[in-house]
């Protein structure tokens, strides 16, 4: 096992640099012209989603034989960061597909499940991860959604809330309790296809930020799921949920780094264009210091994020590092986007300029895939456990 202290962090391999440049060009040319319209209409054009598939962004770790790029988790992190630099909604679409859905199927799916679904997930099918419920947010194991064993199939009954990608997804990983008498040890993961009788997509949320990313309710009414579509083992869904979210946090951290980077770049450019008192505002020391602080914090968040991703790829422990990256990067995104608005002044408070959207998009980073308080709890348990 490699020593993570010797691993490069911001140093990228030639392949990583090439793919990063490709994704940046794609984001600038294909996504940026659509950002304002997608935000206003709270929707994402299907042809843009198809373009993400065509570029290979939706199956980064899927084996080549099954249609994917056979690349690394770290590459997913680079992709999400570059997309979020331009638009966080597209970034989270790609993030959920790779770090949550594909990752879970890679680790716990049967060979038959992988052969059936990965060719579709790498070329045309969007995936969604359904854990949260009205009474089950941070308390992820307080699931009310039930899965009744009916012999040759399970029958799912209940609701899920705040499910990212739900409007576009063709395949869902759904966590439900197959044996409530066992508590969290009854939780089981199921692969549920769109269009399955008894399964429907409910209300789409009208959100503050990442508006082009769909967030919907899922409704299950005696929905019959074949036992072939159990993901992993019955009663081991809690393990899938915990371990997948640990990795997903790194993806959210990379999204927040990208959001911060995008807002910072706009602020840096504007500070060198806007004139007050006869000179560019970037010549004022107060503005220079703000830009310096922004740049420093972004780099710190990027290093934490890259470190966690590198650790994950080499099989080293990364739970603490993932929580730190997600917590710190979300705080940095809030700070940087707020300061960017201040540098823009009154213009920054209007929708005519881009930075107010970055500010709205960042807030969810402190909420989904574990709130900031949950990250602090994870970090505390890790450091106190090591002391013990």
> Do residue 304 and residue 189 come from a single domain?
no
Instruction: Find the mean pLDDT for residues 321-329.
Output: 98
Catalytic residues: 369
Triad 59, 2, 84: Cα angle to 5°: 35
> Do residue 225 and residue 254 come from a single domain?
no
Instruction: Find the mean pLDDT for residues 307-314.
Output: 97
> What does the pLDDT look like over 206-233, one tens digit per residue?
999 999 999 999 999 999 999 999 999 9
**Which one-letter DSSP state was computed for residue 211?**
T
Look at residue 330 in the predicted model and tell me its pLDDT: 98
| Residues of the chain by 3-state class (helix, strand, coil), percent to 5 | 60, 15, 25
Q: Which of 125, 149, 182 is the last residue of a domain?
A: 125
> Do residue 59 and residue 158 come from a single domain?
no
> What does the pLDDT look like over 85-101, one tens digit per residue?
999 999 999 999 999 99
Sign of CA dihedral 352, 52, 248, 320: negative
> What does the pLDDT look like over 269-295, one tens digit per residue?
999 999 999 999 999 999 999 999 999
The runs of H, that is alpha helices, within 174-318 are 237-271, 285-314
CA distance 133 to 85: 30
Look at residue 7 in the predicted model and tell me its pLDDT: 44
Q: Tell me the C-alpha to C-alpha distance, in Å, between residue 280 and each of 59, 270, 271, 283, 378.
A: 45, 9, 7, 6, 45
Whether the predicted model's global pTM rises above the 0.75 cut: yes
> What does the pLDDT look like over 238-274, one tens digit per residue?
999 999 999 999 999 999 999 999 999 999 999 999 9
Residue with tokens 């422990």: 317
Structure tokens at 48: 């843009």
Structure tokens at 219: 């409704």
Q: What is the mean pLDDT of the chain?
A: 95
> Do residue 158 and residue 289 come from a single domain?
no
> Do residue 208 and residue 101 come from a single domain?
no
Residue 3 pLDDT level (bands cut at 50, 70, 90): very low
Structure tokens at 381: 């348990």
Instruction: Find the mean pLDDT for residues 340-354.
Output: 98
Look at residue 11 in the predicted model and tell me its pLDDT: 80
Look at residue 1 in the predicted model and tell me its pLDDT: 36
Asked whether 263 and 344 are in contact (CB, 8 A), the reply is no
Triad 274, 280, 284: Cα angle to 5°: 120
Using a CB cutoff of 8 Å and minimum separation of 24, what contacts does 282-288 make?
287/343
> Do residue 86 and residue 39 come from a single domain?
yes
pLDDT greater than 70 at residue 8: no
Look at residue 141 in the predicted model and tell me its pLDDT: 81
Asked whether 300 and 330 are in contact (CB, 8 A), the reply is no
Which residues span the domain enclosing 279?
238-387
pLDDT greater than 90 at residue 9: no
The structural domain count of the chain equals 3
CATH at residue 34: 1.10.540.10
Q: Which of 235, 270, 291 is the last residue of a domain?
A: 235
Asked whether 320 and 377 are in contact (CB, 8 A), the reply is no
CA distance 287 to 306: 29
**Which one-letter DSSP state was computed for residue 205?**
P
Q: Which of 83, 103, 125 is the last residue of a domain?
A: 125
CA distance 142 to 39: 33
């Amino acid at each position: 096992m490699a020593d993570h202290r010797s691993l490069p962090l911001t140093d990228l391999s030639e392949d990583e640099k090439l793919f990063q440049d490709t994704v940046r060009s794609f984001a600038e040319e294909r996504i940026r012209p659509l950002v304002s319209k997608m935000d206003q209409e709270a929707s994402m054009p299907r042809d843009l989603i198809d373009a993400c598939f065509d570029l290979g962004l939706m199956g980064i770790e899927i084996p080549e034989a099954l249609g994917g790029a056979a690349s690394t988790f770290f590459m997913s992190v680079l992709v999400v960061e570059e997309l979020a630099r331009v638009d966080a909604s597209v970034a989270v679409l790609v993030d959920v597909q790779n770090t949550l859905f594909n990752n879970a199927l890679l680790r716990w799916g049967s060979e038959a499940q992988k052969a059936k679904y990965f060719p579709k997930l790498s070329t045309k099918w969007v995936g969604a991860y359904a854990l949260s419920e009205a009474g089950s947010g941070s308390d992820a194991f307080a699931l009310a959604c039930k899965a009744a064993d009916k012999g040759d199939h399970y029958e799912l009954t209940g609701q899920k809330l705040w499910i990212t990608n739900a409007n576009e997804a063709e395949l869902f990983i759904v966590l439900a309790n197959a044996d409530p008498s066992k508590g969290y040890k009854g939780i089981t993961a199921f692969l549920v296809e769109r269009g399955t009788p008894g399964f429907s997509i409910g209300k789409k949320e009208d959100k503050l930020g990442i508006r082009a990313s769909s967030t919907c309710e899922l409704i299950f009414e005696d929905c019959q799921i074949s036992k072939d579509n159990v993901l992993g083992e019955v009663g081991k869904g809690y393990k899938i949920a915990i371990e997948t979210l640990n990795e997903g946090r790194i993806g959210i951290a990379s999204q927040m780094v990208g959001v911060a980077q995008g807002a910072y770049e706009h602020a840096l450019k504007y500070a060198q264009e806007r004139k007050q008192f006869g000179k560019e505002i970037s010549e004022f020391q107060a503005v220079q210091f703000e830009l310096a602080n922004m740049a420093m914090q972004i780099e710190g968040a990027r290093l934490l994020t890259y470190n966690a991703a590198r650790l994950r790829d080499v099989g080293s422990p990364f739970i603490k590092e993932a929580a730190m990256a997600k917590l710190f990067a979300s705080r940095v995104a809030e700070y940087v986007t707020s300061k960017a608005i201040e540098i823009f002044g009154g213009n920054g408070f209007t929708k005519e300029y881009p930075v107010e959207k970055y500010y709205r998009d960042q807030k969810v980073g402190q909420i989904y895939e574990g709130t900031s308080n949950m990250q602090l709890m994870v970090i505390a348990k890790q450091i106190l456990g090591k002391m013990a």
